[in-house]
Chain A
Amino acid sequence: DVKVTQSSRYLVKRTGEKVFLECVQDMDHENMFWYRQDPGLGLRLIYFSYDVKMKEKGDIPEGYSVSREKKERFSLILESASTNQTSMYLCASSLALGLGVHNEQFFGPGTRLTVL
């Protein structure tokens, strides 16, 4: 069974703290993604990575950074957490195109982050 896991389901942090959200997939996928989900706004792409040590900005990268040192792990970093980063964060992964698949993304269960 395909699996994307996220390090925490719920997280509470204080303004100004450095926050790490970890995501691990066991499907040997090339692509990994970080989204945030807010009511009425759907899912918005923060960053994605198509290979180890590669990263690309999504639609809302401000205030975030990412790290991909190993193929199976993609970390989202909030350098200095702010209250407007309170949200649900979803990690996803997919195979690279050209391998007979069409970008179906597999999602983790999400991390609900509250910044006080």
Chain B
Amino acid sequence: AQSVTQLGSHVSVSEGALVLLRCNYSSSVPPYLFWYVQYPNQGLQLLLKYTTGATLVKGINGFEAEFKKSETSFHLTKPSAHMSDAAEYFCAVNEGPNSGYALNFGKGTSLLVTP
């Protein structure tokens, strides 16, 4: 079974600083990988996804992530944090056909941005 590990349940950065949210996965097949963001009292919104091809993926709001097969990682970065980036972030991996292609989510990382 595939699984996702997000290192750090809480990350705090200063406004303007680099954002780095870590995600490692385990998968026996080439994965489809996703990052979602959840603002308070809202559903999840897709930030970006990796399927095939270019390993550096750009998403919305200035975020990007790099798929590193050798490290089984898909870390999310943003060069300069903004106050509006404060939210919960979830990494997810495709579960494959036996689960109807459901997504297996990590436990989430809460990003706090300080002035």
A interface list, Cβ under 8 A from B? 4, 9, 31, 33, 35, 40-45, 48-50, 56, 58, 90, 92, 94, 97, 102-110, 112
Contact indicator B45/A104 (Cβ below 8 Å): no
Residue in A42, A58, A102, A106 whose beta carbon sits within 8 Å of that of B102 in the complex: A58
Interface size on B, residues (CB 8 A): 24
Contact indicator A42/B90 (Cβ below 8 Å): yes
Which of A44, A56, A58, A103 counts the most chain B CB atoms within 10 A?
A103
Residue in A40, A42, A56, A109 whose beta carbon sits within 8 Å of that of B99 in the complex: A56
Whether A110 touches B43, Cβ cut-off 8 Å, given contacts A102-B49, A103-B32, is: yes
| Chain A binding surface SS class | strand
Whether A97 touches B42, Cβ cut-off 8 Å, given contacts A42-B107, A43-B90, A102-B49, is: no
Contact indicator A90/B44 (Cβ below 8 Å): yes
Contact indicator B101/A110 (Cβ below 8 Å): no
Contact indicator B44/A107 (Cβ below 8 Å): yes
Q: What is the CA–CA distance of A49 and B49 in the complex, to the nearest angstrom?
A: 23
- 17 A-B pairs within 8 Å (CB atoms) are namely A4-B43, A31-B101, A33-B100, A35-B105, A40-B9, A40-B107, A56-B99, A58-B99, A90-B44, A102-B49, A102-B94, A103-B32, A104-B34, A105-B103, A106-B46, A110-B41, A110-B43
